[in-house]
Structure 1
């Protein structure tokens, strides 16, 4: 404690006045002798002791009243952490400002974002030009080569003018880590951290803030101010969690897609409209209700008029502002890629004659051409006898009646499948079982091929029994789609089987079709990014009449879609993250087309992954900071589109309480903490915390209390 007016302490000499008066008033009691009433002396002595005690107490009250009155005029101050150096020493100020779209809400004090900007200006007024000023909007965290240290307050003010609401979500641990790095590098003794935010619970990445525990708490050697913006929880509706429900999306066929609508408020809402837009054309809409703090899944259906990149978005209509105060999360973009063609490689021992596989695939091309009355070659076929590096130029590989595999061929197939390729194997009658097992079990971690069963009398009764109708290859092929086990009551086109190989499944194998003797007919296994399908019969007619059945063609064609790994959708590319974009159909990418159709160079936006040429590393940058459709273009004029969306965590507007927030920061290692509920009190709180606060009011109150006590005791003594 120090005094702003220490000269007033001289007046403490006035304490001697009541002491002198007390001494002068002391008199010896006049003795009166009562020979017959000696006990009165004892009564008199006892009474005088009580009177003296009250007089001493009265003296104490007068002394304390004078002392507190003098101290009040001397202006005592409780020193803050800056002490006497508050106006002379240099300091470092770290200003973290929340500019996410949840700050677009408002309360009685106005727009959250505007209040945050005003608070930054107030902080700048507190600091001198000689101070180190770090201005860190949440949206700038994660940007490459971003300098948060500003040369002057004027530079911060200019940046504030250009700052707008962003779509980036930032977690509080990221902010604390960055604050720790800056504080560790700053050489100033006095460091202050300001975090200006609405403090959503979603920013803290925890379900129960009061139970949070940190294994390695941070140690921030700085005074931390938490400035709460917003006095209420905002009502908000949002869209997220896009899904494609159709297993194999195809052109001119129904594609089912789902989207979730979330209600982040304590009130139920009704008649909310969600629109589906495909290729900038309205397709359909759904009207739904949403209960308080609930999530509803909506299903839409549309037909694509083209192959390739199909882009679209869902839009939640804001019809009542009070029920949906934030519009930044009312659009959710998505992209579906339907391949325009497949490169199919047939590995066959006999290339002199046309196989059933080639006939089936060519028939599919003819059917597609007839449907649009123009020549379409969706499936481009090439043939070979051996497996070599050429398989990497193809989307799908069919291996039919191949006798054996060399070690080199096995390694090529393993690499091809591991990198995302698809292979369908049809063993023939001359198959070398040991060679097949070296490939299937040894390299592909798949099933084992056992002996060839050629007992026609036993095999004549074989039929399909268990069918995985939900598998993408088989869904829609059979009539009894709602079942997974066939019976005589339902018609299933089972082939007549004379011979088949016994397939022994391992833990990595799933059955597509099982015969009524519990043996596998078609099975599948996966290896890293790719898939392998194996048939127990040949693709020719030497084992069965499977190639003549009507199910043969759809199974072959749908397996191309499935194994080709070329169709796909991706909705989880999020603004603010470093995304790995899986590209299809483009090579030598040269530029990135933004949602506003501006073109950015690839060097400034993305780079190829070192491990996979089909993956683009897309870091967070200013040109990828808004949601929408982005397109990668290559030197040949080909393009691939993908969506970027907001982080759905930002849509949850539930706020942390003051107790929860301070407890979180304290447990994370931030000990010197001040929570400011009202932004208008920022300057006052910071100044008092820095320099200390005056105690003269409390001293004056103390003086008045002792004066009142003195008056009361004096009156009492007079009466007695």
Structure 2
């Protein structure tokens, strides 16, 4: 027991006063004489004995009364059991990731958590609130009421370690009471590895009543016809869906097509046929669960012809003219001797077709061309210099040609997931006519295999800088050395190698994955391109590359949707953005990692627990009650004890 005013205990010396009063009474007794004292003597003895008992009882009661009164004014208390953390700062880590859109027993998880904070946080309580994307330092509930009510969902994952580090950096010398409010979806033990060291942590977790969810993962052109696109939508179902699920395609705000999907498997696809012209819209489903992954925005621009030049002998370039037809490409072929270097920057793809010698000036030009987003195809010559070829490859990455060898090799493996073939094959096939080569180099290094020999070494490999691509063949593909020109693979391989991502295909960029886009545009000194729609706008990072502009989007925009890239008031290109589908699987809830923390069902429980653990037990009231009890005892003794 401790005392707030221990100096008052000195008044306990006053207990000596009643002792002196009771032990040294100043009253004198006078003797009275009677004729017959036998009976009076006996009565006197009885009265004297009861009087002594009464006096001692009164002494005891008065001593206890006075002692309780003195101790009560000294204000005794028992120290709080969690007294060491009394000065801690309250830090609330609130998960506002997309999985918190799920509906619990009392509505959407995030909205319910916000309501809990608004209803149960004491008005004068100071705290800091940190979400996945924002922070509110040293505030109170009234100051951030509107911010809490307007809080938005984000694709940024909930990482408590990172958020705690931010809070500790803000107030490094202050202890923390940490409250985690999350559904624990995608939460891992490494995300809470920094929690500990005596920091009190409370976990308020809640989960969705229904863990079923459907996500639209991707949209792409599966087939290009003369007047139509065949657009394929890939979806994934988490959980079982007995009823058919509606899926709709919109161009702008206009409904283009609608159908029903039966999810009898985890992955399903749906195909729509749309006219071969500009499309700026989205596809959506209705599943009654998470909303953010039910819509996939995409844009298709009217295809522009890609510019392709083949450098090499006319006879060896003849097969390329049959692939790059005038309907889709502006194709030219030229021997190295008459090459116009100034025209190369206007090309989308450059093919080096079995050049025996590649001059340094061309290597320098190709390096700059690749950096600005161009595609390069390298077909080596059997008579080419190994040193010269490797000097060319060294400008693009860590890929090397090994010496030329003879011997037949079969091309037996296709990388179906490579971007070159993603839209070519309906399904993986192992039974196809294997092309072959009679002689060639061996490719080694970090290039990504596209087609491989039976021994596992690449026949065709690719390198990329996110804007441009370099495709490297391991062997000459002229008819004397290979039958690859007669293979069914020849057309889709060369066709897709020459396409410019900025001129064809679907534009659908994932937010937060630092993707870039190369756009044909000429800007004056102070001009910038802006990305906007009717609800928001932002200016992306941009780099001017002669007659092109490289746009980098980083973590923008914050909201998925259809946008346009504007130069002033001119819309140069339609573009769409989507959030990554990282929060779609609600079955990944992992509350077990929070088992070492104090569990709470609401914010009110947290505050009550902290208050009870850090509030000292005040005892003065009990001593006041004791004083009154002893006062009553004295009155009873005076009245009833004779």
* 1:96-495 → structure 2 map (5 Å cutoff): 102=100, 105-107=103-105, 113=111, 116-117=114-115, 119-120=117-118, 123=121, 125-127=123-125, 136=129, 138=131, 140-141=133-134, 148=137, 155-160=143-148, 162-167=149-154, 169=156, 170-184=158-172, 197-202=180-185, 205-207=187-189, 213-214=193-194, 226=202, 234-240=209-215, 242-243=217-218, 250=224, 252=228, 254-263=230-239, 270-271=242-243, 273=245, 275=247, 277=249, 279=251, 281-288=256-263, 296-306=266-276, 311-318=281-288, 324=289, 327-329=290-292, 331-335=294-298, 340-349=303-312, 355-357=317-319, 359-361=321-323, 364-365=325-326, 377-384=327-334, 385=336, 386=339, 388=341, 390-417=343-370, 421-426=374-379, 435-436=388-389, 438-440=391-393, 445-446=398-399, 448=401, 466=412, 468=414, 470=416, 482-484=429-431, 492=433
1:524 positional shift: 2.8
Give CA deviations for 1:277-309 in whole Å, capped at 9, x if unaligned: 35353444323379xxxxx33333334533676
Aligned to 1:632: 565
Do the aligned partners of 1:199 and 1:656 also contact (CA within 8 Å) in 2?
no
Q: TM-score, normalised by structure 2?
A: 0.66
> What are the Cα deviations for residues 570-622 of structure 1, in whole angstroms up to 9, with x where unaligned?
56425xxxx5232244546622224xx235252xxx323799953413446xx
Q: CA deviation at 1:452?
A: 9.5
Check if 1:660 corresponds to 2:595. yes
- Please give the residue correspondences for 1:558-569 in structure 2 after superposition, counting only pairs within 5 Å: 558-561=496-499, 567=505
CA contact under 8 A between 1:94 and 1:136: conserved in structure 2?
yes
1:313-360 Cα shifts (integer Å, max 9, x gaps)? 442422xxxxx4xx4345242537678235333243567x99514531
Residues 491-538 of structure 1 show CA distances to partners (whole Å, capped at 9, x for unaligned) of x5979x9xx6533333557473769xx999953343655232327446
Paired with 1:94 and 1:480, the residues of 2 have a C-alpha distance of 52
1:238·1:329 contact (CA, 8 Å) conserved in 2?
no
Secondary structure, aligned partner of 1:583: strand
Given the superposition, is the C-alpha separation of residues 109 and 619 from structure 1 closer, same or farther in structure 2, using an over 3 Å criterion? Answer: closer
The alpha-carbon deviation at position 405 of structure 1 amounts to: 0.8
- Give the length in aligned residue pairs: 573
Aligned partner of 1:600 in structure 2 is 537
- Structure 1 residue 547 displacement after superposition: 6.2
Contact 1:520 1:536 in 2 (8 A): no
Displacement, 1:238? 3.2
1:531 match: 470
Alpha carbons of structure 1 residues 473 and 180: separation in structure 2 relative to 1, 3 Å: closer
Q: Does the CA-based 8 Å contact 2:517-2:552 persist in structure 1?
A: yes
The 8 Å contact of residues 465 and 514 in structure 1, kept in 2 or not, is answered as: yes
Structure 2 contact 301–574 (Cα < 8 Å) conserved? no
The answer to whether the Cα contact below 8 Å between 1:257 and 1:299 also exists between their aligned partners in 2 is yes
The answer to whether the Cα contact below 8 Å between 1:346 and 1:382 also exists between their aligned partners in 2 is: yes
Of 616, 619, 629, 1:692 maps to 616
Does the 8 A contact of 1:592 with 1:600 survive in 2? yes
- The answer (yes or no) to whether the contact 1:68–1:700 under 8 Å persists in 2 is yes
State the alpha-carbon separation in 2 of the partners of residues 64 and 126 from structure 1: 42
- Encode CA deviations 1:253-295: one digit per residue, 9 max, x unaligned: 54544332334xxxx66436262535353444323379xxxxx
Using a 3 Å threshold, how does the CA distance of structure 1 residues 286 and 66 change in structure 2: closer, same or farther? farther
Distance in 2 separating the partners of 1:9 and 1:115: 53
- Quote the RMSD (CA, aligned, Å): 6.0
**Whole-angstrom distance in 2 between the partners of 1:434 and 1:649:** 50
Give the structure with the larger helix fraction: 1
Aligned match of 2:3? 2
Q: Which runs of 5+ in 2 are unaligned?
A: 23-59, 628-642
Call closer, same or farther: CA 1:628–1:238 in 2, change over 3 Å: farther
Q: Is the 8 A contact 2:77 2:617 kept in 1?
A: yes
- CA shift in 2, pair 1:482/1:655, >3 Å: closer
Instruction: From the superposition, tell whether residues 174 and 289 of structure 1 become closer, same or farther in structure 2 (CA, over 3 Å).
Output: farther
Q: CA deviation at 1:409?
A: 1.9
- Normalized per residue, which structure has more strand? 2
CA contact (8 A) 1:417 1:532 kept: no
Q: Could you tell me how far apart the structure 2 residues matched to 1:477 and 1:104 are? A: 37
Which SS does the other structure have where 2:129 is aligned? strand
The question of 1:506 aligning with 2:436 is answered no
Provide closer, same or farther for how the CA distance between residues 107 and 676 of structure 1 changes in structure 2, counting only shifts above 3 A: same
CA gap of 1:177–1:387, structure 2 versus 1, over 3 A, is: farther
* Contact in 2 for aligned 1:106/1:112 (Cα 8 Å): no
Where structure 1 has 5 or more consecutive residues not aligned to the other structure, the ranges are 22-59, 128-132, 291-295, 319-323, 366-376, 454-458, 487-491, 664-674, 704-720
- Aligned counterpart, 1:708: none
Change (3 A) 1:521 1:271: closer
What is the DSSP-based 3-state SS (H/G/I as helix, E as strand, rest coil) of the residue aligned with 2:165?
helix
Cα distance between partner residues in 1 of 2:594 and 2:391? 64
Secondary structure, aligned partner of 1:328: coil
Paired position in structure 1 for 2:639: none
Task: Kindly state the Cα deviation for residue 92 of structure 1 after the two structures are TM-superposed.
Answer: 6.9
Structure 2: how far apart are the matches of 1:12 and 1:231? 60
User: Is contact 1:400-1:538 (8 Å) kept?
Assistant: no
TM-score (norm 1): 0.60
Q: Tell me, yes or no, if the aligned pair for 1:503 and 1:519 is still in contact at 8 Å.
A: no
Provide the rounded CA distance (Å) in 2 between the counterparts of 1:109 and 1:349.
67
CA distance in 2, matches of 1:331, 1:629: 15
Question: 2-side partners of 1:110 and 1:310: how far apart?
Answer: 31
Indicate conservation of the 8 Å contact 2:507/2:575, yes or no. Answer: no
Secondary structure of 1:317 counterpart: coil
Q: Secondary structure at the match of 2:291?
A: coil
Summarize deviations over 1:143-170 as a string: whole Å, max 9, x none.
Answer: xxxx7466x875434545x524534553
